[in-house]
C-alpha cells in the first residue's frame, strides 16, 4: 500500500482502478476516510492517492470476482471476526501485513505459518489480485486480504489486543521532507499497533532506505507499550516467523543499488 501511492496526483483513484459500486472489492468514490485521532501523536496523513496502473487481465478479473467475496474485505467500520472469517481458531494467532504490495513475500511465508492467520492489507488492487491469485492457485488457505489504508484498517477493523504480529516490509520512504508526515512509521502508528497487538505480540519492520532507517531509529523507544528488541541473533523466543524467505520486488531494487537492509523488532510488553 504505502509503497504504491504517488504523492502528487489527483485526489481520486484513477478511473481504471475503480470498479462499479456493486463490484467485489470496490473502493468508494472520493477521498478515503481518515480518522482524526487528536491524541497528540503523529499519524501518517496520506490525503489523496492515485495509481500508475489499475487494470487486471481477464483471467485476474474472473479470479477476483469468484474469490474476493470469501477472502477479501474493503475498509469499513466492521470489526472483523477473525475466527469466523478464517473458519478456525488459529493456534498461532493473526498477523497483519501492512502494505503487502504484490504479496510476493506474503505468499512465500504463509505456507510456513500454517498455524497462523495472515491478513494482507493493501490499497493497490492489482497487487491484491496477484496475491489472491497465488493463494488460490497454490491452495494457501491461511491468507485473507483487506483493501484500504493500513492505519484506518488497523484502527477500524481489528479489536485491541487481538493480533500476534504486525509486519511492515519496505514501506514507501517518502524521501522529500514535505512528505515525511506520510511515512507509516510515526508515533501514532506505533501506538495504534501496540494497542492492536496482544501481550507478547511482535512488530517487524524492514527498510532499505538509509534516511528512513534514521527516522525509525529516533522512534524505537517512543512507545512505552513496545519493548524494542533490535535484531537479535537468537530469535528462538520470538513467537512469529521473522525470516522473510525471499527478496521482494522493492528489496531487490534496493540491493541492486547496494542499499543496506535494516530490520527492527518490537514486542508488546
pLDDT digits (tens, 9 = 90+) for 1-20: 444 333 333 233 443 344 44
17-51 pLDDT, tens digit per residue, is 444 444 788 887 767 778 999 999 999 976 655 55
Please check whether residue 23 lies inside any domain of the structure.
no
Please check whether residue 206 lies inside any domain of the structure.
yes
Please check whether residue 135 lies inside any domain of the structure.
yes
Average pLDDT over residues 228-252: 73
Please check whether residue 97 lies inside any domain of the structure.
yes
Measured between alpha carbons, how far is 250 from 153 in angstroms, rounded to an integer? 23
Please check whether residue 137 lies inside any domain of the structure.
yes
pLDDT score of 86 more than 50: yes
Please check whether residue 146 lies inside any domain of the structure.
yes
Measured between alpha carbons, how far is 71 from 229 in angstroms, rounded to an integer? 33
Average pLDDT over residues 223-237: 90
Give the domain range for residue 120: 80-268
Note the pTM of the prediction, 2 decimals: 0.88
Please check whether residue 235 lies inside any domain of the structure.
yes
Count of domains for the chain: 1
What residues are annotated to the active site? 172
CATH number for position 135: 3.40.50.150
Predicted pLDDT at 47: 61
Please check whether residue 179 lies inside any domain of the structure.
yes
Highest mean pLDDT among 6-10, 52-56, 90-94, 255-259: 90-94
Q: Beta strand 197-207 with 72-74: parallel, antiparallel or unpaired?
A: unpaired
Average pLDDT over residues 156-165: 98
Q: Which three cell numbers stand for residue 134?
A: 497465488
Amino acid at each position: 500500500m504505502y509503497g504504491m501511492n504517488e504523492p502528487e496526483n489527483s485526489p481520486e483513484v484513477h478511473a481504471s482502478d475503480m470498479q462499479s459500486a456493486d463490484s467485489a472489492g470496490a473502493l468508494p468514490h472520493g477521498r478515503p476516510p481518515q480518522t482524526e485521532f487528536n491524541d497528540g501523536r503523529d499519524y501518517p496523513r496520506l490525503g489523496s492517492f492515485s495509481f500508475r496502473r489499475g487494470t487486471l487481465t481477464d483471467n485476474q478479473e474472473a479470479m477476483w470476482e469468484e474469490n474476493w467475496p470469501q477472502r477479501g474485505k474493503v475498509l469499513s467500520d466492521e470489526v472483523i471476526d477473525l475466527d469466523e472469517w478464517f473458519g478456525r481458531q488459529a493456534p498461532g494467532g493473526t498477523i497483519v501485513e501492512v502494505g503487502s504490495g504484490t504479496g510476493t513475500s506474503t505468499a512465500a511465508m504463509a505456507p510456513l505459518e500454517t498455524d497462523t492467520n495472515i491478513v494482507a492489507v493493501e490499497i493497490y488492487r492489482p497487487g491484491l489480485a496477484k496475491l489472491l491469485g497465488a493463494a488460490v492457485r497454490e491452495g494457501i488457505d491461511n491468507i485473507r486480504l483487506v483493501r484500504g489504508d493500513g492505519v484506518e484498517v488497523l484502527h477500524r477493523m481489528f479489536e485491541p489486543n487481538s493480533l500476534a504480529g504486525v509486519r511492515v516490509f519496505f514501506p514507501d520512504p517518502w524521501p522529500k521532507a514535505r512528505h515525511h508526515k506520510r511515512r507509516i512509521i510515526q508515533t501514532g502508528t506505533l501506538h495504534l499497533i501496540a494497542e492492536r497487538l496482544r501481550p507478547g505480540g511482535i512488530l517487524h519492520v524492514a527498510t532499505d532506505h538509509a534516511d528512513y532507517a534514521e527516522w525509525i531509529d529516533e522512534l524505537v523507544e517512543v512507545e512505552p507499550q513496545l519493548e524494542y528488541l533490535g535484531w537479535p541473533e537468537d530469535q528462538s523466543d520470538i513467537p512469529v516467523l521473522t525470516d522473510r524467505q525471499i527478496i521482494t520486488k522493492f528489496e531487490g531494487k534496493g540491493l541492486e543499488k547496494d542499499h543496506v537492509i535494516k530490520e527492527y523488532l518490537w514486542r508488546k510488553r
